[in-house]
Amino acid sequence: MIRPEELQTIAVVGLGKMGADWVTQLLEGGYRVIGFDAEPGARKSARDRIRSGLEWVEKKKKAGERGFAAGALERFQLADSEEAFVSAARDKAQVLLEVVFEDLALKCDLFARVVPKLPAETVVWTNTSSLSIEAMGLASGRLDRFCGTHGMNPVYQMPAVEVVTHRELEPAVLSFTLAVMEKMGKIPFVAADVPGFWVNKHLVPFMLEAMRALERGEITVEDGDKGLKNSLGHPQGVFKLADYIGADTMYRVAMAMYLATQDPRYYPPAILARMFQRKEFGVKTGTGFYSWEGGKPALARSFADFRIKDSGTLLYVSAP
């Protein structure tokens, strides 16, 4: 089993918002990173996303370290095909981190295709926020070396990492994972492999109920976030957080948890289904519960037209 101090290179598959944030975190931690995404658009924008994150780190956490961002980015290698990614990961990486979007079938197919081509000692992490670790581990063929590393959003700013364990996980792999996270300055905590694990098991119903209150006309976006931020100490409020996560991810996570548990608290409310259908994904598209400009909220949106007034109200609408 590799020791934490021997880890040098991590292969990251999935370079969307969350994947790029994880790469930023790993580069800040001093590691070399090999990255790949099946979507050409994500590959094209990955380096800029990562550079932006590293510049934030340089400004906020690395004061006085001129050139930190540029130097860290030199340790990032972008593969232009899955074949090239697997080849580089096989030769150089000791850990594979998966950060594709929340779709169990997609993730299982990826693990079944990629992991058997990697050395037997490779440790495999998944950033899933709610999906079955055991199911993905079985698909990979390496259940004993497979665990969840659910980073909070944005990863390089939020210290917590939910490390998800299961009954077949090798104790040495769990110890290694916790030690690597701590070495990067993270605060890891261990959670069980149940739908939503620990954080989303509690957070998702809370966020979905806030959306239902919005569609009932009980609160506005602006007042809702203002109230939670200044009464409960939330750093940003529930609607702004939803925009950072993205309506696409929120919808998939909620639906996955509902299907796994049949608990009606997890069923996506109509307002979230509409936003998912209209591709109003928050920060990543510029429109969500807020209108966004340059990664900053410009205006809280009105959702009066989304309000459910009676049983005859149209719940779902076609995308424009």
Read off the pLDDT of residues 230-240 as tens digits, 9 standing for 90 and up: 998 888 899 99
Query: How many structural domains does the chain have?
Result: 2
Q: What are phi and psi of 87, to 5 degrees?
A: -60, -45
Contacts of 5 (CB under 8 A, 6+ apart): 183
Average pLDDT in the chain: 92
Q: Does residue 14 lie within any of the structural domains?
A: yes
How remote is the C-alpha of 217 from its chain's centroid?
30
Of 192, 218, 244, which marks where a domain is finished?
Answer: 192
- pLDDT over 50 at 130, yes or no: yes
Q: Does residue 315 lie within any of the structural domains?
A: no
- pLDDT over 90 at 304, yes or no: no
Strand blocks (E) in the chain: 9-13, 32-36, 76-78, 95-98, 123-126, 146-151, 160-165, 187-192, 290-293, 296-300
Bridge partners, 11 (sequence order):
34, 96
- pLDDT over 80 at 309, yes or no: no
Query: Exposed, middle or buried: residue 67 (CB in 10 Å: 0-12, 13-18, 19+)?
Result: exposed
Q: How confident is the model at residue 319 (pLDDT cuts 50, 70, 90)?
A: very low
pTM score of the predicted model: 0.86
Contacts of 134 (CB under 8 A, 6+ apart): 143, 166, 168, 193
Q: What is residue 1's predicted lDDT score, i.e. its pLDDT?
A: 85
Q: What is residue 102's predicted lDDT score, i.e. its pLDDT?
A: 87
Q: What is residue 63's predicted lDDT score, i.e. its pLDDT?
A: 61
Q: Does residue 314 lie within any of the structural domains?
A: no
For residues 75 and 34, give the distance between their C-alpha atoms in angstroms, rounded to a whole number.
9
Q: Could you read off the pLDDT of 192-216 as tens digits, one per residue?
A: 999 999 999 999 999 999 999 999 9
Q: Averaged over 144-155, what is the pLDDT?
A: 94
The larger pLDDT score, comparing residue 239 to residue 154, is at 239
- pLDDT over 60 at 320, yes or no: no
Q: Does residue 287 lie within any of the structural domains?
A: yes
The answer to whether residues 11 and 138 belong to one domain is yes
How remote is the C-alpha of 42 from its chain's centroid?
15
For residues 101 and 46, give the distance between their C-alpha atoms in angstroms, rounded to a whole number.
15
Inter-residue contact 289 to 228 (CB < 8 Å)? no
- pLDDT over 90 at 308, yes or no: no
For residues 34 and 87, give the distance between their C-alpha atoms in angstroms, rounded to a whole number.
10
Tell me which residue range forms the domain holding 183: 4-192
* Domain containing residue 65: CATH number: 3.40.50.720
The answer to whether residues 68 and 49 belong to one domain is yes
For residue 166 the two structure tokens come to: 């299961």
Q: Averaged over 141-168, what is the pLDDT?
A: 95
Q: Which of 22-26, 85-89, 98-102 has the lowest mean pLDDT?
A: 98-102
Inter-residue contact 99 to 46 (CB < 8 Å)? no
Q: How confident is the model at residue 296 (pLDDT cuts 50, 70, 90)?
A: confident
The answer to whether residues 99 and 155 belong to one domain is yes
* Domain containing residue 279: CATH number: 1.10.1040.10
The answer to whether residues 121 and 164 belong to one domain is yes
Q: Could you read off the pLDDT of 218-269 as tens digits, one per residue?
A: 999 999 999 999 998 888 899 999 999 999 999 999 999 999 999 999 999 9
For the chain, give the percent of residues with pLDDT over 90.
82
The answer to whether residues 185 and 104 belong to one domain is yes
Q: What are phi and psi of 146, to 5 degrees?
A: -120, 125
Q: Could you read off the pLDDT of 3-62 as tens digits, one per residue?
A: 999 999 999 999 998 999 999 999 999 999 999 999 999 999 999 999 999 999 998 877
Query: Exposed, middle or buried: residue 11 (CB in 10 Å: 0-12, 13-18, 19+)?
Result: buried
For the chain, give the percent of residues with pLDDT over 70.
96
The answer to whether residues 186 and 243 belong to one domain is no
The answer to whether residues 10 and 61 belong to one domain is yes
- pLDDT over 60 at 315, yes or no: no
Q: Is 65 helix (H, G, I), strand (E, B) or coil?
A: coil
Of 133, 168, 192, which marks where a domain is finished?
Answer: 192
